A and B are shown apart, each in its own frame.
Chain A
Amino acid sequence: MNTNYHIKSYCSIKNNQVSLNGSVVYKDEEESFSSFIKAAYKDQNTKYPKFFKMDKLSKLAFLAADVLLKNENLSSEEENNIAIVFSNKASSLDTDRKHQESIQNKESYFPSPAVFVYTLPNICIGEISIKYKLYSENSFFIFENFNATHLLTYSNSLLSSNKADQVLCGWVEFDGEDNYEAFLYLVSAEGTITNSKQDIIKLYNT
């Protein structure tokens, strides 16, 4: 299996800060996550009204993906052959709790369809795919911690078997407003950073 691939670009969102390829592009330490992500959406010119219907995990994943992919000059008319491999620890727990609360009270329970559709971690992949017309392979893994080895193996496999031209890998975790982080990176034939376990972990930790 060919393993000579590179990380073309990476985006991280944590501690109310959005960074692209190592440089901070937006930050607002004071605000709650909800206010922060809305402000970041505006600041980064995301311009996608459906953003506001998404749950917090999807907003986090979508914004990180958008900041990264917008920078890649993708075709807006044709489909793009970019596979998506995401992972996290808490699955869709934040939204699961919201749904659970809406059905807890026996006297007045009104579950919301708009909330329920987000009680799965991979819906965020669907949202990104819809915007960027990505029909490629996609999956979502649950791990105790960030697992660079798994993402490395998977992306190398997809690229060396020509299943995709590029692979968007990542860790998108949301378990409460104080406990979130997104780290996405695009693996491709081009790029200056090697797609290796060491380099992935280094970027994840910065």
Chain B
Amino acid sequence: MSKGVAITGMGIISAIGNNVAENYQSLIQGKKGISRVSKIKTNHVNDIMVGEIDFTNEALEQQLGLTSDNNYSRTALLGAIAAKQAIQDAGITDINAYKTGLISSTSVGGMDMTERYYYDYLEDKSTQKYIEGHHAGDSTQKIAEQLGIEKSLVTTISTACSSAANSIMLGARLIKSGQLDRVVVGGTDCLSKFTINGFKTLMILSDTYSTPFDENRKGLNLGEAAAFLVLESDKVVEAENKKVLAYVKGYGNANDAYHQTASSENGDGATLAMQKALDIASYNPEDIDYVNAHGTATGNNDLSEGRAIIRVFGENVPDFSSTKAYTGHTLAAAGAIEAVYSVLALQNNIIYPNLNFKTQMKEFNITPQLALKEKPLQTVMSNSFGFGGNCSTLIFSKEQ
């Protein structure tokens, strides 16, 4: 049996709550955070629904105590807030007491500012500060600064919608191999015209509340969020007498090798990722109590993922649901916010409902969990599948 890696802290900000407790309350109350987009001026405002966070950038800057000359993109603001929460939750007072790293992830980066100010850069010098903030590594560096983590142990993963899951996977391996004593892992993405328009042209956005695993699903709702977890080695957990929230027990990544953005018909990459995660955990499929699915509500994903789940679990598919109807699809951050939800599920022995479901998909007869369910849980599997065929699966467990 392979040992899990301890999770000792979590932080999150999403459309359904500004911290872990608020997110959990929304989940158990069935309270979704989907609405028409308000902070971005887009022609598509009436054609899409999103999971938007209430706070304006000014409010977020204030929370972080930033001076007005800062050049934080919304991605960086959300990331910093969630990361700080995680550190506090883990009871860390001296970040450099142990060898600590940071692995963040993003797909938007500073694009939200770039698209706002790009044509002003030549005229208005005061906007030029955002140029530096554009690239994918910038929000990570800012988070590292906020946390006081040495830059040499800092990196950014950019693999679309599986990014944060890959961050967690890499973090767990760095701890297991002894290269780090602890690591802050997760991801952050904010809404932007860039992504709204891009997804719109792929015709996979729904104009109403998304309906994961429903026969009549019309597409996804985009969302914004950030979430981070603190992973610590056994040595640190013992020395500091830490409370462990759950363990990263298994992880797997595979490429679907089928198309730039669509998933293969029978979910080859997804199947491989789930199987690899089970192998690492030394689990059999029947050891999984709940699957938090990727479940974006696109025609393609839910069919492909459903089939993959059946391939892996056979006759005994565990309870499964997608929480994206609550938060929207938060892109690079998805793997991290859903990791937080998986840990909360384990701690509270709760399975979240797959909201908005009306009609069974005709291609198979597995149905997601529709009502909130109390059930003793030892293990939760979480899927995150990204463009580029990048498929990742994580397994969390109560016991090491």
Contacts and interface: CB of A to CB of B under 8 A. Distances in A.
A–B contact at 8 Å CB threshold (below): yes
Interface string A134-149: 1111111111100000
B201 A116 contact: yes
A57 B252 CA distance: 27
A86 B276 CA distance: 21
Nearest to A132: B257
Interface stretch (A14-22, A23-31, A67-75, A95-103): A95-103
B392 to A, nearest CB: 9
Interface stretch (A106-114, A181-189, A190-198): A106-114
A119 B194 contact: yes
Given A117-B261, A122-B386, A129-B257, A91 B158 contact: yes
User: Size class of A's contact patch?
Assistant: 35 or more
Given A91-B109, A109-B197, A139-B166, A121 B158 contact: yes
B365 interface: no
Contacts of B96: none
B197 A103 contact: yes
Contact of B136 (A91, A109, A118, A136): A91
Interface in B228-259: 252-259
A136 B254 contact: yes
A117 B195 CA distance: 11
Nearest to A58: B260
Nearest to B268: A135
B118 interface: yes
A135 B388 contact: no
Interface of B: 43, 107, 109, 111, 114-115, 118-119, 134-137, 140, 155-160, 166, 170, 173, 177, 179, 193-194, 197-203, 252-261, 268-269, 272, 276, 386-390
25 contacts: A100-B114, A104-B119, A111-B200, A111-B201, A112-B201, A116-B197, A117-B261, A118-B260, A119-B194, A119-B198, A120-B386, A121-B158, A122-B386, A124-B388, A126-B389, A126-B390, A130-B389, A135-B268, A135-B272, A137-B254, A139-B159, A140-B159, A141-B155, A141-B156, A142-B137
